[in-house]
Amino acid sequence: MSEATAGTTFPCPGCGAPEMAFDAPSQQMKCPYCGHTAPVPPRQQAPAPAQQAPQGETAEGGQPAPQAPAPVGAHQERSLQEGLQQQAQRAGQGYGTPVQTMKCQTCGATVSFAGTEVSKNCDFCGSQHVLEQESHRRVITPQSLVPFGVDEAKAKESFKSWLGGLWFRPSDLKKKARVGAINGVYIPYWTFDAQVYSQWRAEAGHYYYEQEAYTDSSGQKKTRQVKKTRWEPAAGQRQDVHDDVLIVASQGLSRDIAHRLSTFDTSKLVPYDPQYLAGWRAEEYAVELQDAWQEAQQRIEAEQRNRCAGDVPGDTQRGLQVQNQFSGETFKHVLLPLWIASYRYGGKPYQFLVNGQTGEVKGEAPLSWVKIILFILTIVAIIAAIVIATR
């Protein structure tokens, strides 16, 4: 057991029970024994916590900090340079609350538990090969999170109605699907903001038409319109702002699923408070800040290229070259809520996920080939009927 296991993080003032947990429906701390509730205090903007460097601080080497004053609260961004430096020094403060951390030996996900309960199986892949880990990796503290708004009962309800709304599934699927373990896990993301100044040059093509004389196969002289392109050099510049470019930092979720689930409303972020984690799990980020920034940069550059292409005049273009200058890059480490679960049908397991903010469901479900074949046969019959009727 690590020293971080002293689980009396948020004792109940009502009954003295060791652990209150964050309750999704009421958005408050709630005691599971006596029902006592307490609000999660909104963290004050000033003074800034120790891990958030105050504004105006000078960076290493006496250079003035390059950032403009950051916006307040949950939306407070942090300078990328400062973050990368901090990352290098491993100066993160972690979750700000004692956690137990388990690492899955199968899929590699690292999940922290802010409470006494620890699962024996991996939340992501179900593997039993989970090992307790000393939390000496000093991770960057999350700036903000979207608290769970969907509780377990509502997540299951969303799942059932999702299952009922699917096409071409076995008729007894909704009745017989047996939901197994369902876990609320905060998934780590990085979000980036940046201003980009893009200079581009290209050749802009303008179409014009010329009459061309030709001789057709029977030897007759004719004329026709031929499209030609006049190429002209073109250049331009533009200034764009990219806000909340979201990069998933999870190890346990597949890229594909994580991308399909990135429908979170980041305007609902609240400042991070360890109390939100009480009774829940949080996956530790597996993608480092630097790598995430590279991915964000690539995404932003691709977007800028598209925008510049749209600026090139004329009917067509070639040889587009874009030079981007980034400035005011800031980042946030955020946690977004997700229910991870599986169900069994016909002896086979299927995974599904419920967005803990919106209740949106993504998942796998068995297909009914009988229904699909019947549907195809029906379509074929209808087409045949139409063909016969119109003869």
| Three-class SS of the chain | CCHHHCCCCCCCCCCCCCCCEEECCCCEEECCCCCCEEECCCCCCCCCCCCCCCCCCECHHHCECCCCCCCCHHHCCEEHHHHHHHHHHCCCCCCCCCCEEEEECCCCCEEEECCCCCCCCCCCCCCCCEEEECCCCCCCCCCEECCCCCCHHHHHHHHHHHHHCCCCCCCCHHHHCEEEEEEEEEEEEEEEEEEEEEEEEEEEEEEEEEEEEEECCCCCEEEEEEEEEEEEEEEEEEEEEEEEEEEECCCCCCHHHHHHCCCCCHHHCEECCHHHHCCCEEECCCCCHHHHHHHHHHHHHHHHHHHHHHHCCCCEEEEEEEEEEEEEEEEEEEEEEEEEEEEEECCEEEEEEEECCCCCEEECCCCCHHHHHHHHHHHHHHHHHHHHHCC
Nearer to Zn ion, 24 or 31 (CB): 31
Q: Which two tokens stand for residue 313?
A: 């005049």
Half-sphere exposure of 143 (CA within 13 A, CB side): 26
Nearer to Zn ion, 103 or 154 (CB): 103
Nearer to Zn ion, 26 or 306 (CB): 26
Smallest gap from Cβ 129 to Zn ion, in A, equals: 8
Smallest gap from Cβ 351 to Zn ion, in A, equals: 12
Q: Which two tokens stand for residue 50?
A: 């120790």
Nearer to Zn ion, 17 or 65 (CB): 17
Smallest gap from Cβ 235 to Zn ion, in A, equals: 51
121 in Cβ contact with 75 (< 8 Å): no
Nearer to Zn ion, 255 or 391 (CB): 255
Nearer to Zn ion, 24 or 109 (CB): 109
Nearer to Zn ion, 9 or 143 (CB): 9
Nearer to Zn ion, 115 or 205 (CB): 115
Smallest gap from Cβ 363 to Zn ion, in A, equals: 17
Smallest gap from Cβ 36 to Zn ion, in A, equals: 4
Nearer to Zn ion, 107 or 182 (CB): 107
Smallest gap from Cβ 102 to Zn ion, in A, equals: 10
Picking from 368, 335, 365, the residue whose alpha carbon sits closest to that of residue 353 is: 365
Smallest gap from Cβ 167 to Zn ion, in A, equals: 31
Query: For residues 252, 257, 260 and 266, what is the CA-based torsion angle, rounded to 10 degrees?
Result: -10
Smallest gap from Cβ 107 to Zn ion, in A, equals: 3
**Which positions touch Zn ion (CB under 5 A)?**
12, 14-15, 17, 31, 33-34, 36, 104, 106-107, 109, 122, 124-125, 127
Nearer to Zn ion, 35 or 66 (CB): 35
Max intra-chain CA distance, the chain: 104
Smallest gap from Cβ 149 to Zn ion, in A, equals: 23
Smallest gap from Cβ 121 to Zn ion, in A, equals: 8
